Structure 1
Amino acid sequence: MAKSTDIEKGSDNSSSATPSLASIQKSTSDHNVPFIPATLTVSGLRYEITIKDQPTEGKKSLFKKVPNIQRALLSDIAAKARPGRVLAIMGPSGSGKTTLLDLLADRQARNLGKIQGDILLNDVPVKDYGSIRKRLIGYVTQEDDFIETLTVLETLTFAAKLRLPRTMSNKDKMEKVHAVMQELNLTHIKDTKVGGAVIRGISGGEKRRVTIGIELLSSPSVLLLDEPTSGLSATDALNVANAIKELSTKGRTVILTVHQPRSDIYELFDDLLLLSQGKVVYFGKAQSAAAYFEGLGHECPVGWNVADYFYARKISFSAEANMSQISVDLITLHQDTPSNEGSSSSTEDFAKKYADYVATNPQAYLTQLLKEHESASEKVERDALLSKYKKEYTSEYATTTFTQTMLITQRSLTNLARHPTIFQASVVIHIIFALVVGSLFSGLKDRPEMGATSFNMSISLFFITSFLATMTFSAMPQFIIERSLFLRERAAGMYRTSAYFAAKTIVETLSYTILSVVFVVITYFLIGLKGSLIYYFVSVSVFVNVALSLIAAIGAGAENSEVGMSILSLINTMAMLFSGFIVSRSDIPRGWIWAFWASYYQWAFSGLLDNEFSDGSAKGTATLMYYGMDQLEWLTKWRAVLILLGYYILFRVIGLLLLLAKRA
């Protein structure tokens, strides 16, 4: 067992004393946003989820109901993070690092399982802070989701206008943006596009710093970062780590998860929380961790990266190879794995040894930290800052729903105008195919076997609707990509779901209406259609937006674009099959007639038929009779448009409800 002094061995790379409140306020440029230094304390935290029990091989039964059991993802977690220090949470995959961070940030994990224990911010339960807790605790996720056509400055400005108080002037908001860019060394790339899959932009490390900058805008007391260096080059990872360390020196409480950092990055950590299988195997100063495990009989070899050493339980020296070899993982052992010495050396043992150490050593790091509390004068000062903070943020969202909608609409329109593949390419494609379709059907003659009916015009109308509906399929992948950004921004409290969906509806409806009008104008004159051109504009535009709304509804609920496309293809094929063109209404079997009335294709096609052939001519009347329209006198072309509008509203509402239910 490690002695009480072992855990404090080694040099500490920063002072253990918490920076004074006065020095923090002096070093933090708040620009009307008060900064509140805060200590985050976790005590007795346990998190359980309900899963299906895994029956043994002999007890498996196809018809036997599998009972639910409770599985603990986190067990008795206790730690304390202080202002001015970086707390690193380490552990193997599946150890509960991200789950713990989600709980600290009050994200969706809390709603999926049962949580016990306390999470305190300045000795006050986090939930007692109400709606401002999402601003006091910033959360930087692993994903860097951005609108790739916006510059760094535009990205941060958009976030500032949504996250900073409405009482704050635009000048002060821009000063805050420039202060954050300077703090994170982003000023030199402020006019560079963020970039992404299509547009080349800034580096991965710079993107990560932009993501951090978005969280810093609201001056959070605690900054949580999930794997901030993962996926980055060695240089970018070190730059990000240095930026994070610099943030902590200005009084912020920084907590990050990291898997196996390089030694130069590990040296930047002040405190360390080691997890395995949801249990604590070490909490203390980062530079004292090696000494603690040495006290347990696991000495770190000279020259080894300490972070690598945590993942090696036993080191054996090979005389032949003249090198040390890792035999077994230190903190990733399964509980049923026996050691070479014949005694259990499992994760359970390491957690128990740490728990015994804390229980029997009054001088243990955790014990000493839990004894620390604010002085009366510091509490008064912090309460005053908190009162000022609450006055700045009087509601859950910093801006009104109308402002949120306008800002998101403006961002989407900017992206639409700049992105080479979203709208610009769609315009070109629609023009090209309109010319192809128009020239194709302009030379197509009516078939003699069709009698007096107009084969040329009717098939052209069906093809126009089919092509335009299919063209909207390209919106599905983009919708899924933007949904990821939406979930992150909504979780951060930037805007309401309704504001986002209203903005998306405005932009999508406007853009696809323009595309529809361009297509109709070209095909109308090339084919030689005779019906009302205004009606074609209205009907086709509404129909295309119905198809787009269906995509929005499916995209809001689908797990990924592949699943969404499969569902969309099925629904679209069924709607096309029962449109009344491939099989006329009178020939559809009685058992399938409901599919005819449910098909949104049918309402569009019927309205276009009425518009083109209700001129009283013999051919027009015969065409309406062929498709069974003569028996539907109540179904006028404008009523068909109204029904399509009903579909449009229905699909949009379904999409909104699915987004509201979607978890981050």
Structure 2
Amino acid sequence: MEIVDEGERETQVAIPALAAMGAVRSHNFLTATDKEASNPKPRFGRSPDLKIDVQDRSSPVFKSNPLPIFLKFEDVEYSVRLVSRDPVRNVRCQLSAQCGGQRQILRGVTGSVGPGEVLALMGPSGSGKTTLLKIIAGRLTDNIRGSITYNDIPYSTALKRRIGFVTQEDILFPQLTVQETLVFAAFLRLPTNMTRQQKLERAESTLKELGLERCRNTRIGGGFVKGVSGGEKKRTSIGYEILVDPSLLFLDEPTSGLDSASANRLLQVLRRLAKAGRTIITTIHQPSSRIFYMFDKLLLISEGYPIYIGQACTSMQYFSSLGFVPQLAMNPAEFLLDLATGHVQDMNIPEAVNSSSDTDEISRDIIKFLQRKYKSELEPGEKEENHRRAKAPRHLQQAVQLKKDWTMSCIEQFMVLAKRTFRERCSDYLDKLRLLQAIGVGVLLGLLWWKSRIDTEAHLRDQIGLMFYICIFWTSASIFGAVYVFPFEKSCLVKERQADMYRLSVYYVCSTLCDMVAHVFYPTIFMIITYFMADLKRTAPCFFSMLGAVLLVVITSQGAGELFGAAVLSVKRAGLMASLVLMLFILTGGFYVQNIPFFMRWLKYVSFMHYGFRLMLKAQYSGEELYECDGPGGCKKLQSSPSFNTLSLAGGMEEMWILLVMALGYRFLALFCLRRRISACSS
């Protein structure tokens, strides 16, 4: 079955137009024009105008045709504001409006790449290649100067779903298998005009094309979870992006951490992806010679300055023409990186820069020399080539501005995300240690309060202490069970939101409801054990009222934990915030201190433990109930006990409504904070 998406119709019209522009090329044959064929002089800085064989579809993963996009960037500059690590100095700096200045990362970078081409961004660490990749991918938008166009149209949010971005770190859910990762991505990202079976076939064909059949049922892994190898994880990350046939595919150091064979296989996959009509840009640090010659174009950056742009296969000839010749056989990438850093120990250099015996001065002179040569010999030709190309046809310009609709409705997104969330967190929900903890603590409390009574003030105080401990235990368990969810999933959430995979509100509802299942199940098991061992009131209304009060405290605590986690999106700070708030709520819960000073009394009204504890007491006791009948004064009513000085047992259940409002309020605030934080991380 041939799977065709909405890009097929656009591509059938677009390819001839882009071919006329000289924007697309073939990887099967690289033929120069007749004029250049008769001239042996290498053509530095520009690639010959070539064509792409759009009928070459040797693999089912390439059956759909992406929209051709020609990317141009000219005189791109980027700078960041320097901030001191000393917070006091930063405050003084801001108050005096004399902050530390700017650091320029990129300094006038120009280039272009079209469908069918693989452009490599090379340079030493800190040269700015990853920053440039993020800028042309639309991931960085502030403090940027220069022109960046896609089919001669500036970047807009409509391009989000036509871009695939593979980060250097493989951001995947560790508990999902390779096949589950691709299948869930297919359901969330592929268009609605594809049936469920077609989406499954797309995921299967991608799996086979990337050579992942052997590990399809192996978990991704990460941290303390054993999973697939580094090469398999990287190929899964690429498959995650190419499922939707992106027109532009950006990769940040895709061969980092891979052995030579895995890296070579990965580059062959990228070449096949480009052959299907995609525009591919990748950063690379120090590839092998075989991999280096797989690239069509090369942009070499040194200290934010470009020093070469053109065909990768002619880069050595260009630098040789300048007088830089290696004295021994070298990997071309190693040779170019030495030039970009100014280290020329094993090569001949031009006499123009051999004027000093100081190594550092020679390095600076070489970098400046290469920058001047680029400005005079390569940059004018690259800019002229960009301006000479015909403008993209109007329908292609309109296509990149047309924002794709959501692939699924909210209900469909909810169903897929709920299933994925449950699969990903299943090990936490069905954790044997968690079950053992609930049963073990329940039995321990049942033994300590075995057949407790309320016939005396001391016994009553003991039983009230049991209820407050239950409140503390499940409040802390729920807060710390929820506070780390969003910080741990931050990277995946930012990545998927940048790709517009789903609505953030749908993700949040799925996360909350799925976690709530575990937050309700374990307290229920705990209460069934503890309630009857402690011999609390054995009536159905009392038991279910008590259980409902505990579950309401748990649900409210879960919402508070989600709020703390969403507010900071940091594992360390979220845990610290949860610890401080929990301590504050315990102290103001109404058991340790009942008569709080008036200037601190407001704290108990924001403490959900205060309301939860009061609700549990009302569910278990009645003000008219008698105790201490063996005392000298005869039977007393429970309401007269000092333990209930600040609580009317005959009052209504207003605490229940307050806790419900708190539970909903925490969740709305958590969604608001999560939206703001994720938007800030995505920009």
Q: TM-score, normalised by structure 2?
A: 0.81
- Aligned partner of 2:654 in structure 1 is 639
Residues 344-400 of structure 1: per-residue CA shift (max 9 Å, x gap): 5275554343122235x6xx456435533378xxx488679x49x96xx752x2212
- Aligned partner of 1:545 in structure 2 is 555
- Aligned partner of 1:123 in structure 2 is 152
Structure 1 position 338, deviation (Å): 7.4
Alignment of 1:478-517 (within 5 A): 478-517=485-524
Task: State whether residues 469 and 547 of structure 1, in contact with CA within 8 Å, keep that contact through their aligned partners in structure 2.
Answer: yes
- Aligned partner of 2:599 in structure 1 is 591
- Aligned partner of 1:211 in structure 2 is 237
Judged with a 3 Å threshold, the aligned counterparts in structure 2 of structure 1 residues 28 and 606 are, in CA distance, closer, same or farther, namely same
- Aligned partner of 1:334 in structure 2 is none
Task: State whether residues 323 and 348 of structure 2, in contact with CA within 8 Å, keep that contact through their aligned partners in structure 1.
Answer: no
- Aligned partner of 1:39 in structure 2 is 70
Q: Take 1:186 and 1:63, find their aligned partners in 2: how far apart are those partners?
A: 53
Structure 1 position 443, deviation (Å): 6.6
- Aligned partner of 2:468 in structure 1 is 462
Q: Take 1:624 and 1:441, find their aligned partners in 2: how far apart are those partners?
A: 23
Secondary structure of 2:96 counterpart: coil
Task: State whether residues 205 and 236 of structure 1, in contact with CA within 8 Å, keep that contact through their aligned partners in structure 2.
Answer: yes
- Aligned partner of 2:276 in structure 1 is 250
- Aligned partner of 1:83 in structure 2 is 115
Task: State whether residues 624 and 638 of structure 2, in contact with CA within 8 Å, keep that contact through their aligned partners in structure 1.
Answer: no
- Aligned partner of 2:578 in structure 1 is 568
Q: Take 2:94 and 2:395, find their aligned partners in 1: how far apart are those partners?
A: 64
Alignment of 1:354-369 (within 5 A): 354-358=374-378, 364=381, 367-368=384-385
Structure 1 position 502, deviation (Å): 0.8
Judged with a 3 Å threshold, the aligned counterparts in structure 2 of structure 1 residues 173 and 116 are, in CA distance, closer, same or farther, namely same
Which stretches in structure 1 are left out of the alignment for 5+ residues?
318-323, 328-336
149, 153, 161: which is aligned to 1:135?
Answer: 161
Mapped pair 1:404 → 2:413: yes
- Aligned partner of 2:138 in structure 1 is 106
Task: State whether residues 524 and 547 of structure 2, in contact with CA within 8 Å, keep that contact through their aligned partners in structure 1.
Answer: yes
Task: State whether residues 447 and 534 of structure 2, in contact with CA within 8 Å, keep that contact through their aligned partners in structure 1.
Answer: yes
Alignment of 1:434-449 (within 5 A): 434-442=442-450
Structure 1 position 78, deviation (Å): 1.0
Secondary structure of 1:166 counterpart: coil
Amino acid at match of 2:389: E
Q: Take 2:494 and 2:586, find their aligned partners in 1: how far apart are those partners?
A: 33
Deviates more, 1:246-255 or 1:141-150: 141-150
Structure 1 position 558, deviation (Å): 2.2
Structure 1 position 565, deviation (Å): 0.7
Amino acid at match of 2:411: F
Alignment of 1:51-450 (within 5 A): 51-52=82-83, 65-68=96-99, 69-107=101-139, 109-110=140-141, 113-127=142-156, 130-131=157-158, 133-313=159-339, 324=346, 344-345=364-365, 347=367, 350-358=370-378, 364=381, 367-368=384-385, 370-373=387-390, 379=393, 386=399, 394-395=404-405, 397-417=406-426, 419=427, 423-442=431-450
Task: State whether residues 536 and 608 of structure 1, in contact with CA within 8 Å, keep that contact through their aligned partners in structure 2.
Answer: yes
Q: Take 1:416 and 1:343, find their aligned partners in 2: how far apart are those partners?
A: 53
Deviates more, 1:170-179 or 1:42-51: 42-51
Residues 272-311 of structure 1: per-residue CA shift (max 9 Å, x gap): 1122333222211122223333344432343212222233
Q: Take 2:520 and 2:362, find their aligned partners in 1: how far apart are those partners?
A: 74
Q: Take 1:5 and 1:340, find their aligned partners in 2: how far apart are those partners?
A: 37
Judged with a 3 Å threshold, the aligned counterparts in structure 2 of structure 1 residues 446 and 261 are, in CA distance, closer, same or farther, namely farther
Task: State whether residues 326 and 335 of structure 2, in contact with CA within 8 Å, keep that contact through their aligned partners in structure 1.
Answer: yes
Secondary structure of 2:439 counterpart: helix
- Aligned partner of 2:526 in structure 1 is 519
Q: Take 2:437 and 2:85, find their aligned partners in 1: how far apart are those partners?
A: 53
- Aligned partner of 1:321 in structure 2 is none
Q: Take 1:309 and 1:38, find their aligned partners in 2: how far apart are those partners?
A: 32
Judged with a 3 Å threshold, the aligned counterparts in structure 2 of structure 1 residues 453 and 621 are, in CA distance, closer, same or farther, namely farther
Amino acid at match of 2:465: I
Structure 1 position 224, deviation (Å): 0.4
Task: State whether residues 152 and 397 of structure 2, in contact with CA within 8 Å, keep that contact through their aligned partners in structure 1.
Answer: no
Secondary structure of 1:256 counterpart: strand
Q: Take 2:170 and 2:118, find their aligned partners in 1: how far apart are those partners?
A: 22
Structure 1 position 312, deviation (Å): 2.3
624, 639, 664: which is aligned to 1:649?
Answer: 664
Task: State whether residues 481 and 558 of structure 2, in contact with CA within 8 Å, keep that contact through their aligned partners in structure 1.
Answer: no
Structure 1 position 579, deviation (Å): 0.8
Residues 28-56 of structure 1: per-residue CA shift (max 9 Å, x gap): 7579954222221112222344445999x
Residues 121-162 of structure 1: per-residue CA shift (max 9 Å, x gap): 2233332xx52x112221111232333333222211111111
Residues 593-620 of structure 1: per-residue CA shift (max 9 Å, x gap): 1112221111111111122222522349
Secondary structure of 2:487 counterpart: helix
- Aligned partner of 2:52 in structure 1 is 20
Residues 219-246 of structure 1: per-residue CA shift (max 9 Å, x gap): 1111101111223344433332332233
| RMSD across aligned positions (CA) | 3.5
- Aligned partner of 1:558 in structure 2 is 568
Q: Take 1:304 and 1:32, find their aligned partners in 2: how far apart are those partners?
A: 40
Secondary structure of 2:489 counterpart: helix
Structure 1 position 407, deviation (Å): 1.0
Task: State whether residues 46 and 115 of structure 1, in contact with CA within 8 Å, keep that contact through their aligned partners in structure 2.
Answer: yes
Judged with a 3 Å threshold, the aligned counterparts in structure 2 of structure 1 residues 219 and 342 are, in CA distance, closer, same or farther, namely closer
Secondary structure of 1:282 counterpart: strand
Task: State whether residues 59 and 209 of structure 2, in contact with CA within 8 Å, keep that contact through their aligned partners in structure 1.
Answer: no
Residues 494-531 of structure 1: per-residue CA shift (max 9 Å, x gap): 11111100111111122211122111111111111227
Deviates more, 1:438-447 or 1:162-171: 438-447
Deviates more, 1:495-504 or 1:250-259: 250-259
Task: State whether residues 136 and 222 of structure 1, in contact with CA within 8 Å, keep that contact through their aligned partners in structure 2.
Answer: yes
Secondary structure of 1:537 counterpart: helix
Judged with a 3 Å threshold, the aligned counterparts in structure 2 of structure 1 residues 565 and 338 are, in CA distance, closer, same or farther, namely farther
Which stretches in structure 2 are left out of the alignment for 5+ residues?
1-38, 350-356, 628-635
Secondary structure of 1:171 counterpart: helix
Task: State whether residues 606 and 629 of structure 1, in contact with CA within 8 Å, keep that contact through their aligned partners in structure 2.
Answer: no
Q: Take 2:418 and 2:487, find their aligned partners in 1: how far apart are those partners?
A: 18
Judged with a 3 Å threshold, the aligned counterparts in structure 2 of structure 1 residues 211 and 511 are, in CA distance, closer, same or farther, namely same
Residues 608-650 of structure 1: per-residue CA shift (max 9 Å, x gap): 11222225223495477424555557863x3212211222112
Q: TM-score, normalised by structure 1?
A: 0.83
Q: Take 2:582 and 2:368, find their aligned partners in 1: how far apart are those partners?
A: 54
Structure 1 position 61, deviation (Å): 7.8
Structure 1 position 421, deviation (Å): 7.3
Q: Take 1:261 and 1:616, find their aligned partners in 2: how far apart are those partners?
A: 82
Residues 80-124 of structure 1: per-residue CA shift (max 9 Å, x gap): 1122221111223332222222222222x21xx232322222233
Q: Take 1:629 and 1:16, find their aligned partners in 2: how far apart are those partners?
A: 89
Structure 1 position 72, deviation (Å): 3.2
Task: State whether residues 429 and 518 of structure 2, in contact with CA within 8 Å, keep that contact through their aligned partners in structure 1.
Answer: no
